[in-house]
Structure 1
Amino acid sequence: ILISVLANVDFEKLQTIKAQNYVRIMPNTAAKYKASTTPYILKNSHFENEILDILKTFGSAYKLDNEIQMNAAMAISGCAPAFLALIAESIANAGVYEGLSKELSLNLTRSLFKSSSALLEHEHPAIIKENICSPGGVTIKGIKILEQKGIRGSFFEAINASSAK
């Protein structure tokens, strides 16, 4: 079995090495905490259960149907943690700017990501946003700024660029 973690190296290139099965995976750096989000695609079904058992040792595994999906999933699972880290760093820095200690601001930001993750387990992101925003409230004012700055387009373009060959 050849298991590849090489970004954008397709089965055609991998098949220059003889193996009974080829697997493309893209774990993310959370694998070191057994919390990776790992998309994978198999060339054939040989040893599929064993491969899945291996992948689950370092987090969640998501089977994909084709290599086009793999490139998109790789960008989300492999690259987006860095994008989210940039957001976390920005939020924590903004807290310091507003007068919080670095330690408190970082701890609040970490807790924010945990609680937001819990919400995402149960609700669509749009519903979460709508439930938090109140008419004329502070959250909708912040959302307005983010939308004016083009946050949606920026993330869309970042994922698109990261999934391109």
Structure 2
Amino acid sequence: MKIGFIGAGNMAEAIVAGMLSQKTVAPGDVYLYDISAQKLADHREKYYVNSCATIDQLLQVADICVLCVKPNVAKGVLQQITKDNICLLSIVTGLTYAQMEENIRAKGARFLRIMPNTPLMAGEGATVFAMPHTLRDDEFAFAKEIFSASGLVETIDEAYLPAVTGISGSGPAYVYMFIEALADAGVKNGLTRQMALELASQTVLGAAKMVRESPLHPAVLKDNVCSPGGTTIEAVSVLEQKGFRGAVIEAVDACVEKAKVL
């Protein structure tokens, strides 16, 4: 199948990079449209994909389209889609199935809401499909193949998609902040920037793999690192005093509430 992207920003690039690196789609079967000609030129040069001058041109060649625009322009873009029986995947935060049905001008359109994240680019994405979708079986299987090749895929009722946004959709930003802070602490204590970043990022990678592969709860894994009267429990104590857990939970809550009103 040929796949087209309406919008070629960071998230669209992450999906494209993931697909191409895992060879689930050939570059010649990928089409991009964006209002930025420079962005399209950059992607053509980097990924050898096709670009389209208009949305209509993209709709004529793509079997499946992915809506990758900002929430504030999504409804306007939908009103430009007039190709009947289109298969449309949307990664737009806050754009519900009901709103897609209401704003698209095409007849017989089929929809799937998706919340991916940027680690797709590294083959370690976390993607959630909102149910119930209206795609045909072959279209849904194709969508699942694309995203499964680049990480985890889950399904959930549409009502819970804002919570997914707060955890995995925006979550990479929180993790990047933690890695940056951990590396800064290393530099503060005499490590080179390069070594501090390597150690911090590998530690997060390794810890995440432990959580994914171990039957133990994260709290037990944490306890296993903390020796009585040792260095780790001293650091954990400071994090608890500073409200580390509460800050994370409140940040996610704020993200979820924002996702509900976009």
Q: TM-score, normalised by structure 1?
A: 0.92
State the match for 1:27 in structure 2: 116
State the match for 1:75 in structure 2: 166
Read off the aligned partner of 2:158 and give its amino acid letter. Answer: E
Read off the aligned partner of 1:21 and give its amino acid letter. Answer: R
- In structure 2, what is the Cα distance between the partners aligned to 1:103 and 1:41? 40
Identity %: 32
Please identify, of 79-88 and 25-34, the stretch whose mean Cα deviation from structure 2 is larger: 25-34
- In structure 1, what is the Cα distance between the partners aligned to 2:108 and 2:186? 52
- In structure 2, what is the Cα distance between the partners aligned to 1:20 and 1:54? 21
- In structure 1, what is the Cα distance between the partners aligned to 2:108 and 2:241? 51
**2:89 maps to 1:3:** yes
**1:53 positional shift:** 1.6
User: Of the candidates 118, 122, 146, which is equivalent to residue 239 of structure 2?
Assistant: 146
Superposed CA offset, 1:132-152 (max 9, x none): 112211111111110111111
Structure showing greater relative contact order (alpha-carbon pairs closer than 8 Å, 6 or more residues apart): 1
- In structure 2, what is the Cα distance between the partners aligned to 1:161 and 1:103? 33
What is the count of residue pairs matched by the alignment?
164
Query: Secondary structure of the equivalent of 1:40?
Result: strand
**1:55 positional shift:** 2.1
Superposed CA offset, 1:92-148 (max 9, x none): 000000011111111111211121122111132111111111221111111111011
Read off the aligned partner of 1:106 and give its amino acid letter. Answer: L
State the match for 2:230 in structure 1: 137
Structure 1 unaligned runs (5+)? none
- In structure 2, what is the Cα distance between the partners aligned to 1:129 and 1:93? 22
Please identify, of 48-57 and 35-44, the stretch whose mean Cα deviation from structure 2 is larger: 48-57
User: Of the candidates 26, 32, 46, which is equivalent to residue 136 of structure 2?
Assistant: 46
- In structure 2, what is the Cα distance between the partners aligned to 1:45 and 1:130? 46
**1:57 positional shift:** 3.5
**2:184 maps to 1:93:** yes
Q: Conserved in 1, the CA contact under 8 Å of 2:125 and 2:151? A: yes
Q: Conserved in 1, the CA contact under 8 Å of 2:110 and 2:134? A: yes
- In structure 2, what is the Cα distance between the partners aligned to 1:151 and 1:55? 32
Read off the aligned partner of 1:5 and give its amino acid letter. Answer: I
Q: Conserved in 2, the CA contact under 8 Å of 1:2 and 1:19? A: no
- In structure 2, what is the Cα distance between the partners aligned to 1:45 and 1:5? 15
**1:46 positional shift:** 2.8
Q: Conserved in 2, the CA contact under 8 Å of 1:41 and 1:63? A: yes
Read off the aligned partner of 2:163 and give its amino acid letter. Answer: A
Q: TM-score, normalised by structure 2?
A: 0.59
Q: Conserved in 2, the CA contact under 8 Å of 1:27 and 1:39? A: yes
* Divergent runs of 4+, >3 A: none
Please identify, of 138-147 and 47-56, the stretch whose mean Cα deviation from structure 2 is larger: 47-56
State the match for 1:162 in structure 2: 255
Read off the aligned partner of 2:186 and give its amino acid letter. Answer: G
State the match for 2:151 in structure 1: 59
**1:69 positional shift:** 1.6
- In structure 1, what is the Cα distance between the partners aligned to 2:246 and 2:185? 22
State the match for 2:195 in structure 1: 104
- In structure 1, what is the Cα distance between the partners aligned to 2:150 and 2:101? 26
Q: Conserved in 2, the CA contact under 8 Å of 1:20 and 1:46? A: no
Q: Conserved in 2, the CA contact under 8 Å of 1:39 and 1:74? A: no
User: Of the candidates 221, 224, 232, which is equivalent to residue 128 of structure 1?
Assistant: 221
- In structure 1, what is the Cα distance between the partners aligned to 2:183 and 2:111? 42
Read off the aligned partner of 2:119 and give its amino acid letter. Answer: A
